[in-house]
Amino acid sequence: MVTGRTIVAPSLLGCDHGELASAAADLERSGADWIHLDVMDGVFVPVLTFGAGVAESICSSVSIPVDAHLMVDRPAALVEAFAAAGCRYITIHPESSEKHIHRVLGKIRDLGCLAGLALNPATPPDIVQWVAPLLDLVLIMTVNPGYGGQKHISAMNGKIRTVQRMLEEAGRGDVLISVDGGVNSSNAGTLVNAGATVLVSGSYITSSSDRAQAIKSLKV
């Protein structure tokens, strides 16, 4: 249901990577609710972005929550550093080489952060029911991870609804459902109606000449 309470989380992926901290501060002034950090290790996805040191600079430059989306092959080795960097949410992928996703989600919470699970487009949502007690956020990828500016996969609307139902059945209707990939003002309403509560958006916001207006247009 469209409520006007959608959390808008701009991704910094398309910003100048030499000035990410000031880009994040600028997005906060433009009305962002969270900052979304796309952490890529060159293994889980072909691209390499940045590590916890850069994340720390970004976290220090804003007062809104920072969500670290770890597109990395071995998330367990990194969660401690991203927690120490000041990230509020740490989101990991079950398609990574990590064999003990349940344990790592618990570790994220033990570090005082909120735990997120990200699902690639081809990943069945069933895992959600088995880790629901440990979740604070489910991130549904609506592109294949690795690059900004890709075409949104609208077939994921069904997965959003399925995840919402699974969370409610598990008594965890409070878990945030985030959508990431090709999100813009044309599909925001449909995504929120399907059950999304957080909209991650990269190129639509950062390539806009009026970022404040672009962010506002997503608060459906």
Does residue 69 touch Zn ion according to CB under 5 A?
A: yes
Q: Strand pairing of 7-10 and 198-201? A: parallel
Helix, strand, coil percent content, the chain, rounded in steps of 5? 35, 20, 45
- 196's CB contacts (< 8 A; 6+ apart) are 6, 140, 160, 177, 178, 179
Which entry of 38, 41, 67, 136 is annotated as an active-site residue? 38
Known catalytic residue at 38: yes
Does residue 148 touch ligand DX5 according to CB under 6 A?
A: yes
Which entry of 26, 67, 136, 180 is annotated as an active-site residue? 180
Q: Provide the minimum distance between the beta carbon of 152 and Zn ion in the complex, in angstroms, as a whole number.
A: 13
H/E element holding 105?
A: helix 101-110
The binding track of 64-103 with respect to ligand DX5, each residue x by CB under 6 A or -, is -----x----------------------------------
Does residue 26 touch Zn ion according to CB under 5 A?
A: no
Half-sphere exposure of 62 (CA within 13 A, CB side): 32
Measured between alpha carbons, how far is 35 from 68 in angstroms, rounded to an integer?
Answer: 9
The binding track of 35-54 with respect to Zn ion, each residue x by CB under 5 A or -, is ---x----------------
The token duo for 144 is 């294949």
CB 180 within 8 A of CB 141: yes
Q: Provide the minimum distance between the beta carbon of 169 and Zn ion in the complex, in angstroms, as a whole number.
A: 27
Known catalytic residue at 126: no
Q: Select from Zn ion, ligand DX5, none the partner in contact with residue 191, using the beta carbon and a kind-dependent cut-off of 5 to 8 Å.
A: none
Side chain identity, residue 34: W
The backbone region for 42, taken as left when phi is positive above 0, alpha when psi lies in -120 to 50, beta otherwise, is left
Among 203, 208, 212, 216, binds ligand DX5 (CB under 6 A): 203
Interface with Zn ion by CB under 5 A: which range of 33-41, 51-59, 93-101, 103-111?
33-41
Q: How many residues bind Zn ion (CB under 5 A)?
A: 3
Residues identified as active-site: 38, 180
Where does this chain bind ligand DX5 (CB under 6 A)?
11, 13, 36, 38, 69, 143, 145-150, 180-183, 200-204
Where does this chain bind Zn ion (CB under 5 A)?
38, 69, 180
